[in-house]
Structure 1
């Protein structure tokens, strides 16, 4: 079994890292370049950088911040936000990104997933999915534009489609759990993990070290992503990895 990965997430707005609850009430969490360097030294396995307002504001990701961040780290680095064309992917890869995360653009133009995978390889394309439980359906719905817009798309159908299109990984965020610190949405994560053969990164809800073990074991996630607990020093990467090791979960 592959070692499980612990991934801090930098949600960036106006050049600063921010974090909220259920995608709203954002507060400042620091400078993205400085935080990236800290997480690299602390033993993070990868880093995700999301320009959370780029798609909503209809602009490209901040290339210069990406370039500076990439210069400070040695771990794999996924960048997302405001990516609408293969040329956008190329610019970010040249600026130092290792993988490209697409969310809104993949829903608007699914062909972008296939085009990106063909040009740069599936391992380079991460489809980010923001999902919220729809009680009328009894399952989860995909949201876009930083969680602002409903799509009418069923999340479980969407994950299968993006895998077929060539996505190499899924970054799955539970909007219901996001920022609550009550634990990952294990039910959602397990449902997605059971459907696809590509790695699933669970996101949203981490509050304690044991939440990672829960989503790895019961949710079958390949990686756990968190922001609040790491940014505000409630837990370190080492705290999480030590807890996982004590439970027999293989980590790097």
Structure 2
């Protein structure tokens, strides 16, 4: 199981909030990325938290700098609206791109990216909120609702060619109250692509609750690392018990 450090970025700073809102600065993205790499993280995801407001990604220079010190796979997301945007992100040194809003605007773009660059570099991002007993997909960093059920949308992303799914529970994100295990379990059964889960980790018991029921391919962590509540090794040791 891969451990991923998630860095949400606004105006050159790593930020963290609750439910993707109320964002607070927590550090320099390249300093944190290097620290997590040195601790042994498997991958790093840089997300432009305000890209949807401006229809562009502003992280290319941060990715270029990170590649000088970090030698694990790097993914970048936020504001990637065209094949040219993806080409620029990969050219800056990213190994993968993470796309949410752009896929809703044009699912055929996902197909084109998969054909041109390969599914292995393409992560379909789903921001999920529970409404009236079902999970709906949201866009624009969890701000705007869609009418799409998250499971059916994940299946469509698979058919379009994504190589992985990043599932963020907006309801749990930043709360430290645990993962949305019901959602994750359903998603893990419904899709054939590797599943990355994000949102809700606060303590060991939350990892136990997740891994006792389902096995995602990867877990993305943010607050617990940013605020030094646990190290990468702490998290790896906690997960290892379920992999033996």
Instruction: Give the TM-score normalised by structure 2.
Output: 0.97
For residue 127 of structure 2, the aligned residue among 112, 127, 130 is 130
For residue 178 of structure 2, the aligned residue among 183, 187, 193 is 183
Q: 1:217 to 1:164 in 2, by over 3 A?
A: farther
Deviation readout 1:26-66 (Å, 9 max, x if unpaired) = 11110001001001000101010000101122223321111
* Count of aligned residue pairs for this structure pair: 244
Query: How far apart, in 2, do the equivalents of 1:5 and 1:211 lie?
Result: 17
SS of 1:73 mapped into structure 2: coil
Aligned partner of 2:35 in structure 1 is 38
Aligned partner of 1:101 in structure 2 is 98
> What runs of 5+ residues in structure 2 fail to find an aligned partner?
none
- Greater than 3 Å deviation, 4+ residue runs: none
Pairs within 5 Å for 1:197-212: 197-212=192-207
Q: Does 1:11 align with 2:8?
A: yes
**Contact 1:189/1:220, CA 8 A, preserved across alignment:** no
**Contact 2:110/2:161, CA 8 A, preserved across alignment:** yes
Query: How far apart, in 1, do the equivalents of 2:128 and 2:155 lie?
Result: 14
Aligned partner of 1:196 in structure 2 is 191
Aligned partner of 1:167 in structure 2 is 162
Pairs within 5 Å for 1:60-139: 60-135=57-132, 138-139=133-134
Q: Does 1:241 align with 2:233?
A: no
> What runs of 5+ residues in structure 1 fail to find an aligned partner?
none
**Contact 1:187/1:219, CA 8 A, preserved across alignment:** no
- Please report the RMSD computed on the Cα atoms of aligned residues, expressed in angstroms: 1.2
SS of 2:91 mapped into structure 1: helix
Instruction: Give the TM-score normalised by structure 1.
Output: 0.94
Query: How far apart, in 2, do the equivalents of 1:86 and 1:206 lie?
Result: 34
Post-superposition offset of 1:213: 4.1
**Contact 2:47/2:78, CA 8 A, preserved across alignment:** yes
Query: How far apart, in 1, do the equivalents of 2:55 and 2:85 lie?
Result: 13
Deviation readout 1:81-104 (Å, 9 max, x if unpaired) = 110111111111111100010011
**Contact 1:202/1:215, CA 8 A, preserved across alignment:** no
More displaced 10-residue stretch of structure 1: 58-67 or 14-23: 58-67
